[in-house]
Amino acid sequence: MRVEPIGGVRGLGEPERIPTDVRLRREISHRRLVVSIARRIMRVVSLHALDGILILGVLHLLAAVWPPYQAALQFGAAVVIVFLLSLNALSAYRPGDARRDLRRLLSGSLVGGLILTGLTLFPPGIPFEPVFLAVLTAAVFAALSAGRKVVDHAVRQVYKRGFGLRRAVLIGDLDEVGEAIGKLRDDRNIDQYVIGHLSADREPDPTALGGISDLGELLDRRDVEEVIVAATLPGRMLDRISASCFRRGVSLYAFSVATGAVYSRSELVRLGGCPLLRLHPARLEFPAMFLKRAVDVTLSCGALIALAPLFVAVAIAIKLDSEGPVFFRQRRVGVGGRHFTIWKFRSMFTDARIGEMDLAHLNTYGDSRLFKARQDPRVTRVGRWIRRTSIDELPQLFNVLRGDMSLVGPRPPLPREVASYEPHHHDRLQVVPGITGPWQAGGRNLIMDFEHVVRMERDYIRRWSLLLDLRILLRTVRVVVRGEGAY
């Protein structure tokens, strides 16, 4: 770890035009994510390659000093694969200290030796004697342990010369930051370059780069990759910090649990020899996303087939009731702020010259980020019926098949609504939007507080399960049948 003298950034408070275009931030976030993934892949691939070379080297060495086992060389690829799979099963390639854990290396080597022993018992059978396998297992463990030491020494020398370091910022007062740096300054953790700290107090100390309110600007200006919270902060303050970090693809760690509720996921990790909490955005990870997508595609295909006659009947009713297309298309904001076109059955006159701004006085919500009018003059006769029964939403099943939407999730907002969002509102955009969600299942337009809607959707993301999705779908059917909050 290298530490730039605290307070070494001058002119942070000086006015400077910082680009705030969300597309640029998304580009920076993606770049940082790509760099982070590339580092991990390179680390894992290079370790696998090195271990494979070491295992083959051990096999050649034993065959050279043990001539009866020259034939073992023809099984070199199988031996390498068995040992590498065993090491992976014991998580010997995970980030942090797992790669240096001698117990994992020993366990992985023993498991590999036992698997090879089992392979000698089944035809055609590997012609290895138990003594040879025992020596091979011990030699592989010794070679892997020595290889890790050599790699650590080489990487340490590279880091000491300033290559590959991650730029980090700490948050806390002087004492907290000093204690945190002392804990992080470990021989096994030298891949950080601390550029300074931000004060958690309202009155920043003179050595700080600024206060927490300056975090976003600092992340943009200094291309920071990691933020480490050394102070114990209120949950709302940690949420604001996490929002700034997650939007920019910056990793966030904390030494202690915040006071009060925090809407980020956390996991215990080790930076060097120091245990920390790593905070993650409230979003679905790969296994959950894959399962959710599979259910979406299956149920959507079945629903489209079953509802085909209803689609035809509604289309005929719309054409007979008023002039214009059957479907209504509109730009919405989906996961990650990406825009897409949503499909609905048309429920309004196409020649209506009145917009939502002209009907603001009829909005039943007290918040412009949600709009609904009980007596909207733009709605047709058929439109009132299909809105009340939510049939107008059914064409969004095609959006689900395209991957723009899910059956269950936060409702996709309009771009102008997102433009007025506060930082914590963007949590709605962390997952694929849905045809229905906790808001609709909870009573639709009966819930008029936008902050309440956001809390419901954020809680849904944190507690997601397939069973929860099914419950929301069933509750939505009940709400639609009863007509709760529909107009």
**What are the b/e assignments for 290-327, b being 16+ CB within 10 Å?**
eebeebbeebbeeebeeeeeebeebbebbeebbeeeee
For residues 153 and 171, state if they share a domain. Answer: no
144 and 226, same domain (yes or no)? no
Higher pLDDT among residues 481 and 124, named by residue = 481
Per-residue model confidence as pLDDT tens digits over 41-87 = 887 888 899 999 999 999 888 888 877 777 777 888 888 999 999 98
Predicted confidence band of residue 487 (pLDDT cuts 50, 70, 90): low
Residue that is last in its domain, among 112, 140, 160? 160
Going by pLDDT thresholds of 50, 70 and 90, the confidence category of residue 327 is: very high
Q: Give the pTM.
A: 0.50
441 — pLDDT class (breaks 50, 70, 90): confident
The last residue of a domain, from among 260, 280, 300: 280
149-153, 266-270, 353-357: least confidently modelled range: 353-357
Residues 304, 419: one domain?
yes
- The answer to whether residue 35 is domain-embedded is no
Whether the CB-CB separation of 13 and 210 falls below 8 Å is answered with yes
The answer on 180 and 121 residing in a single domain is no
Go through 188-216 and write b for each residue having 16 or more CB atoms within 10 A of its CB, e for each that does not: bbbbbbbbbbbbbeeebeeebbbbbebbb
**Residues 252 and 186 occupy one common structural domain:** yes
* Residue 31 is assigned to a structural domain of this protein: no
Domain hosting residue 149, numbered range: 40-160
The reply to whether 168 falls in a domain is yes
Residue 311 CA to chain centroid, in angstroms? 37
Is 30 within the bounds of a domain? Answer: no
The answer to whether residue 26 sits within a structural domain is no
Whether residues 467 and 396 share a domain: the answer is yes
352 and 453 co-located in one domain: yes
* 33 within some domain: no
Q: Same structural domain for residues 448 and 325?
A: yes
CA atoms within 13 A on the CB side of 265: 16
Mean pLDDT of 452-478: 85
Same domain assignment for residues 112 and 7: no
**3-state SS string for 192-225:** EEEEEEEECCCCCCCCCCCEHHHHHHHHHHHCCC
C-alpha–C-alpha distance, residues 297 and 155, integer Å:
46
- What average pLDDT does the structure give for the chain? 78
Number of domains the chain contains:
3
